[in-house]
Amino acid sequence: MKIYQTDKIKNLVLLGNSRSGKTSIAEAMLFNGGVIDRMGTVEAGNTVSDYNKIEQENESSIYSTVLYTEFMDNKINMIDAPGADDFVGKAYTAINPSNVALMLINAQNGVEVGTEIHARALELYEKPMVFVINQMDHDKANFDSALEGIKESFGSKVAQVQYPLNAGPEFNGIIDVITMKYYKYPANGGAPEVLEIPESEKGKAAELHQELIEKAAENDDKLMELFFENDGLSEDEMRSGITAGLIHRDLYPVFCTSAKKNIGVRRLMEFIVNVVPRPNECSKREDTDGNIVPIDATKPASIFVFKTSIEEHVGEVNYFKVITGVVNEGDDLVNQRTQNKERLTQLYVVAGKKKEKVTQLVAGDIGAVVKLKNTKTSDTLNATGHNVKYNPVLNPTPRHRAAIKPVTEGEEEKLGEALNRMHEIDPSIVIEYSKELRQVIVNGQGERHFKILEWHLKNDFKLETEYVKPRIPYRETITKVAQADYRHKKQSGGSGQFGEVHMVIEPFIEGSPDPTMYKVNGKEIKVSLKDKEEHKLPWGGKLIYINSIVGGSIDARFMPAILKGIMEKMEQGPLTGSYARDIRVVVYDGKMHPVDSNEISFKLAGRHAFSTAFKNAGPKILEPIYNVEVFVPADYMGDVMSDLQGRRAIVQGMSSEKGLEKIAAKVPLAEMYKYSTSLSSISQGRAMFHMDFAEYAPVPGEVQTELLKAYEEEQED
């Protein structure tokens, strides 16, 4: 394979809802570029992209697949991303090295939930977008409806480049308003006749042509001047304006195709070569210092690893983009994370599982390498002396969590190693080893995401696992002032143990003044502040510890031991064993023995006094509350609202956004278990949501009673 320079490279990501035809259009582009000599189909399980067994069984993409084709003396790199909501993390991975997205729209359904999800990811990466309304040969295809949905969701930036003739099973024609030509295709697709636009379509085509010229001119001051001087733009000038519009995300061109019949795909590829920005025109690669690093082949070599996978008969494969310089087979590069050298023994360009060796890759190009020693996703590898480090791949916020454990006891360590490995391969799987919950928690995008993880654990690591409902990280606190004292006394021959502690506890509120006096149970307790310690707790909130001992009733050397006892009980709260937070403790009196007092005595006395006071201080269990935003078609609004109310949600507001209804609510984490599955079922897969932590809030009384009862039963067991 020839070596392509930066100005002859195009990097695309194929996005869109499931069943929009991403894999089929990739197949047609590979065929048109001569990489394959026969187009496969998803149904037959013989496409280049969905080559994994599990993808063929599901007849849909689960992983992002790196592909390339050659066309008009250019190399087009493509990454086919899965469209299902549960695998959106793979779409984030695919967007990272790409410069422009082809957003596939199903001509029957128009803008769908996957369209919205992927468009949001593109916004984060600030990547341009080209719409392709696909499956124009379907008997329910409706180009005008799909186009209207795109305009409703994405506004005035949408620019129509084509429209179909004879949409439906007899689809065979496209009017292109850049070239102002009619492309007429044979019945089964293939190379078209390029004809003059039929008389009946000239008026519509001319109107759209003028609209496109105006949108193109808006993106370049010089073009705007030419537009007014000449009352129009030439085809080349129009292309230049569209390129500028794409670069600045001010223009979203719209094409139409039937990928399965290879109708319109070749013309789309011509547009990609002639108009879509090159890597050095459209790169916003940032390093960790916030600097923009341009794609530049003249600089020292640096590559960014955007994906890692384990492949049968090959082992670990690292997929990378060359950001600067040129990399050659046999080069030694330094991993910026480990500072160890990695040798690029063999370089490949990749089309699915097909890997073709190359000797060199230039800035802007995408390739793969095998058998690196310790390189992972998001690693930067540099030429010696070049110390740039690029920002990691973005990942979506997890929306689904479950606890996982091995079916066979004693395989916990093996499971831990396997989960860490899977996180390296799929960073959207977040593993949490929770000491607090005494569980291994997996965070991801949904149940399908977790089933794929379970499949890999079974097939790649020979581990049988099961998911169980995760415990909730509750917190405990108090609502009023309480006093307690405790004497620890133990005598069993020789030196004994003796320590007595008197304390007051109260809720701590940020900014509240130091106490001077308490009145508890009719008794006044004066506070003489000798020392104050403020402890910011790792699990959130604070403990304020005040020494108010007068007259030396407790020696200062025992105060740390009392604090240690209190902190032990804060780590395992008196109500449910959950972490306690936001409490002020004042130790104001006590007793000690000249011989028998020691640190252990005062630690135990402090612990028991704190526990007793806590239970008398209006104790309250707090639960984590999440901000949840649900985007749902209006038809399903009522059912989604009803379901949320059943989950103790407090609706914060409702609005419309990009053709969908948006519900903003605060929902307890305890009620969000398997919500992604429920929402998909309620909305027939057409709704989406995201969530992030908001705050801790008191649980309702009946819930607290249930939690206390469950904890008591657990302790008895």
Q: What is the CATH number of the domain that holds 594?
A: 3.30.230.10
* CA–CA separation, 254 and 264 (whole Å): 12
Answer whether residue 443 is part of any domain: yes
> Is 297 within 8 Å of 362 (Cβ atoms)?
yes
Task: Return d(Cα 545, Cα 113) in angstroms, integer.
Answer: 52
CA–CA dist 583, 542 (Å, integer): 7
pLDDT value at residue 98 = 97
The CATH number of residue 372's host domain is 2.40.30.10
pLDDT for 495 equals 76
Please tell me whether residues 136 and 225 are part of one structural domain. yes
Q: Residue 15 has what pLDDT? A: 97
pLDDT at position 228: 67
| Structural domain includes residue 222 | yes
Residues 456 and 565 in one domain: no
Task: Identify the domain containing residue 429 by its residue range.
Answer: 400-471
CATH number at residue 182: 3.40.50.300
pTM of the model: 0.85
| CA neighbor of 68 nearest in space, from 2, 132, 134 | 2
- The reply to whether 51 and 152 lie within a common domain is yes
Pairwise CA distance, residues 307 & 266, whole Å: 29
Torsion sign across C-alpha atoms 681, 685, 687, 692: positive
Structural domain contains residue 241:
yes
Say what the pLDDT of residue 637 is: 94
Judgement on whether residues 15 and 143 belong to the same structural domain of the protein: yes
Q: How far apart are CA 395 and CA 445, in angstroms?
A: 11
> Between 113-125 and 88-95, two packed helices, what is the crossing angle to 10 degrees?
40
d(CA 469, CA 605): 37
One-letter amino acid at 179 equals T
Do 685 and 636 reside in the same domain of the chain?
A: yes
State the DSSP code for 186: -
Side chain identity, residue 358: V
* Structural contact between residues 259 and 265, judged by C-beta atoms closer than 8 angstroms: yes
Of 382, 413, 431, which one is at a domain's C-terminal end? 382
**pLDDT given for residue 229 in this prediction:** 65
Whether 279 is in a domain gets the answer no
**pLDDT for the residue 414:** 96
Task: Give the per-residue pLDDT at 22.
Answer: 95
Shared domain for 253 and 354, answered yes or no, is no
Token pair in block for residue 214: 């105006």
Question: In terms of domains, do 414 and 427 share one?
Answer: yes
**Domain membership flag for residue 393:** no
Tally of domains in the chain: 5
Give the domain CATH number at 642.
Answer: 3.30.70.240
Query: d(Cα 527, Cα 504) in Å, to the nearest integer?
Result: 10
pLDDT tens for 531-544 read 999 999 999 999 99
Q: Are residues 459 and 483 in the same domain?
A: no
Say if residue 535 is in the same domain as residue 603.
yes
Q: Answer with the one of 423, 446, 471 that is the final residue of a domain.
A: 471
Query: What was the pLDDT predicted at 222?
Result: 74
Question: Among residues 443, 471, 499, which one ends one of the domains?
Answer: 471
Task: Identify the segments of the chain with pLDDT beneath 70.
Answer: 223, 226-231, 283, 493-494
Q: CA–CA separation, 518 vs 468, rounded Å?
A: 47
HSE value, Cβ hemisphere, 13 Å, CA-based, for 106 = 17
Residue 324 in any domain: the answer is: yes
Residue 88, domain member (yes or no): yes
Exposed, middle or buried: residue 389 (CB in 10 Å: 0-12, 13-18, 19+)? middle
pLDDT confidence of residue 467: 96
DSSP 602-660: HHHHHHHHHHHHHHTS--EEEEEEEEEEEEE-GGGHHHHHHHHHTTT-EEEEEEEETTE
Shared domain for 547 and 693, answered yes or no, is no
Strands (E), 435-560: 439-444, 465-468, 475-477, 482-490, 497-507, 517-520, 523-526, 531-536, 542-547
Q: What is the pLDDT of residues 199-255, one digit of tens each?
A: 999 999 999 999 998 888 887 777 677 666 666 777 888 889 999 999 999 999 999
With 0-12 / 13-18 / 19 or more C-beta atoms within 10 angstroms meaning exposed / middle / buried, residue 537 is middle
Which of 489, 655, 474, 439 is closest to 573 using CA atoms? 474
Domain check: are 448 and 590 in the same one? Answer: no
Q: What is the rounded CA–CA span in Å between residue 138 and residue 117?
A: 25
Unique residue bearing structure tokens 């409490």: 583
Per-residue b/e over 670-691, b at no fewer than 16 CB within 10 Å? bbbbebbeebbebbebbbbbbb
Q: What is the pLDDT of residue 233?
A: 74
User: Does some domain include residue 177?
Assistant: yes
Task: Give the chain's radius of gyration (CA, Å).
Answer: 32
Asked if 82 and 49 count as a contact pair (C-beta separation under 8 A), the reply is no
Residues 576 and 693 in one domain: no
Q: What is the dihedral of CA 278, 281, 285, 287, to 10 degrees?
A: 130
Give the pLDDT confidence score for residue 231 in this predicted structure: 67
| Alpha-carbon 557 to chain mean position | 50
